[in-house]
Each structure stands twice: as structure tokens, then as C-alpha cells.
Structure 1
Amino acid sequence: MSLFSVQNLSVALRGRAVLRDVSLSVSAGEMVGVIGPNGAGKSTLMRAALGLIPFEGTSLLAGMTAAARARHVAWMPQSREIAWPVSVEALVRLGRLPHGQGGTVADRRAVEAALDRMRLGPLRQRTATRLSGGEQARALIARALAQETPLLMADEPTAGLDPEHQLATLGTFRALAQGGQGVILSLHDLGQAARFCTRLVLLAEGGVLADGPPAEVLTRDRIARAFRIRAFHAETPEGPVFQPTGVIR
């Protein structure tokens, strides 16, 4: 079942073509990492697909009503500002609003599960605006988890997290995909993308340069072409290791 689909999507920002004729779909059970150099259009692709910025082409999500979209996809943008001094628990509970007023047994279970997954139980009564940047990021991820949608989209969700919480967060996203949800996230860390994602979409040169399993996307030639780097790639008992080693001049 396709949870995310764009066909011939093109976006121009400030008179500059960012994406041209991108067609892409994501199904339940996939964890898709969108990678690419700065300015390649990773955030633009997600925002256009959601109908947040003008685009040409078609998008499954943009064609939904706002209420239907809120029940279908949990969206985590790069911006992580928390506007109100509410408790962490109250912030996470906001994720239940698409399903009603947030007072049912199912709502409470979803909030508790999200707090537990992001290891926020000890912080549940803390004022969210007084948390560290990394703790705020975890609270916002928990809010998205509490939304319990078929699809989760996140723009650089591990930015600002320490290594432990980066790995834990990506492990949580992988578990969601293994449980049947769809996950789409943009990542700058190619090592994390190789280790956790079931599929990678490499954006470069205005479109999709490669789309497939990590080992097939992260080839020496494609990495050199898209990122202008060299990298070390190896398979280990704990999964693939992908480490940039140098810049191509």
C-alpha cells in the first residue's frame, strides 16, 4: 500500500529550479532515507509533498484535507521551536489532537508509549521550554510518535541529539517500519543512513540520482558525483559502516 506518492513533482524557489520531475512512492514497512548535498532539495521535497509550498505535478498528501492528512502523516520539520511553556507530557499529548480531544484510554496509552520510547518518563512534568535543545528534540519526536499515523516524515530528526539518542531514535523509527508504518526522513549522516534505512533516495542535480537499497545507492561513483567525497564502506557483524574519508578536489 502506497502511503506517500509524488508524480512529476517540480519545485522552483526564488526563481531557481530546485527539483524537476521527481516521481517517488513509499509503502508501509519501508524506512526511506532522503540524502543529498546541501541545496539538493531534501526539505523541499518533503514540504512540497505535504502541500506546504507551491509545486507542479501531483502529490497524494497534498490532495488530502487537512484533517485527513493529520491522521495519515506525522510531520517533523527542521524547526523545533516550542512556543508555549507546557509540560513535556502535555506537549506529547498534543499529538493526539487529530484523533479527538486526547482523553481516551487509547490516547493515554499512546502518550505513555511515546514517552517511554523516547526515554522521557523522568522529564514528563518538566516545562518543555526549559529543556536542553536535545531534550526538546526528543519531546517533539515523542509528540509525533503519539500521533500514531500510518506515515511519519521527519526532516533531519537526529540533528542536535547526542550519539546515544541519535542511535536510539533511529532504532525507534526502524522498529516503527518493521511494525508496518512507513517512515521517510532526511539525513546528512551517511553512516546512519546506510545502517538504519531499508532504502535510500539520493537527490542531486535537480532530481533523483539513485533510489534503492543502501548498498546499491552508496557506490563510490555516485558518492563522488553527488558529494565530491571519498568514503570507506564495510560490512560488520553490527551492520554496515560508511565513513567519509576525504574531499575530492
Structure 2
Amino acid sequence: MTRIALCYSGRPRSILECHENHKQHFRLGQNDVDVFAHLWFDESLVGSQFRSDVGQGTWPDAGIKDWIDENWKPKKISYERPRNFEHMFSDTWRIQWHATHPKDHQISMFYGIEQAIKLKKEYEEENNFKYDYVIRMRSDLLFLQPPGEFEDYDQSKLHVFDVQPGPDWIQTGVKDYGILDIIAWGGSDVMDKYGTIYSNLQRITEEGCPMFTPDSSLGYNAKVINNLEYEKHNWNFKVFVANHTYGN
């Protein structure tokens, strides 16, 4: 039996709306799939906007934790009050482009990804096995077409979306290694390396990686630091709270 780990991280956005989609396309709830998660949550934020500058919905109430326990049945899960990372890497953080994804949000994402994958690794070590596939997940992700059978994906490669680089990626050199931050998967060892993104941020920024997008640092960590081989796919998906659709 193929064993799959879904590693959720980030803010608990659109969990109820995307649940059936994850059951359909990522086997959520089946016996061969386990869930691990690091989610930002603070009961004092319930009902407030996730972000005031863009429409991303509101923080759910504390009942979402019980819902997650019942429907995700996570093997390991961590809830943490949102932290502010704005002060970090002030001497080495170089944007190198005229528009940028907020620094605090980027580092928050990297921290959560790493924590979720660490929970997966802890469970593997405690139970003396490794998952065949590990998937970096967001709770607000919707696949519009099936990604295919996971068993057909090469476990030795990092599977990512085939981004068509724009001027920002081309002029800054990010096109050589950048990967979309929304989803990725591979074998357990591959994803352990992918999941070192937060721990390696000092090196990533010191070596001059352009930090205007999380796509650059995730790719720099994966390809430049960890020498992971990409396999790119034209998956068809969208983020529930956004209007942009990826793929055809």
C-alpha cells in the first residue's frame, strides 16, 4: 500500500469549502493517507479579516479545531499564535524588484511549511517507516482537474507547477530555480529537504537570492542548496479565495 502524508500549513482558510476537493484529488480520509499540520490560530482573532489589504475571508471560530480532528484525523498537529517575522534578516533581505510579497507573510509561510514537515518526520521516526509521497498542502487549494495517480510520480524528484516566467523572474534570474509556493510533492526524503526552507533562510538571503516572492527562496533552497531535481507539471488548480486559475 502506498502511504501518503498531507502536510498542511498556513492560516486555516476555506477548510470547509475545500474539504471535498481534497478527498477527491488527494485521498484525504482514506486509509493510506495521513495528515500533519501546523496552523496559525488565535481565538482573539475570530471573525476578523485574515488580511485587511486583500479579501481572504475571516478567521474561523475555535470549533474549527474539533472539525479538523473529526475530518482530517491528523496524526500530529500544532496550533500556534501568529508571529511577526518582520524584524528578521534586516541586513540581508534584498528584494531586487519593484514589487514584493510582504516579508512577514513569506517567513510565516516558510516557518509553517518546515514545522508541518517536521511533524511528519517525527511520526516516521517514532514508527520506523517513511511515507512514499509527501505533499505540501494549503487548506484553500482547489484542484480543477485530477493530478493523476501519485504512484506514477517519480519519488526521487520534486514535483512542482510549470510556471511561465514573467519579467520579474527573468530579469532577476529566478527563472533558473524558482518554484510556485502553493503546492509541491515528492518522496519523503525529497520533501524533508524541501522543508528546510526556514532553517536555511540566513544562507538564502546572504547569498543574494531575490526576496520579492516566496517562489524564489523556496526554489533556491530546493535546487541551489539541496540539489533537488524538478519535474514540472501543468496541473489545473486555483486558490479558493483568489480569482487566478493555474494551468489550462
The normalised TM-score by structure 1 is: 0.26
Q: Which has the higher strand share?
A: 1
The normalised TM-score by structure 2 is: 0.26
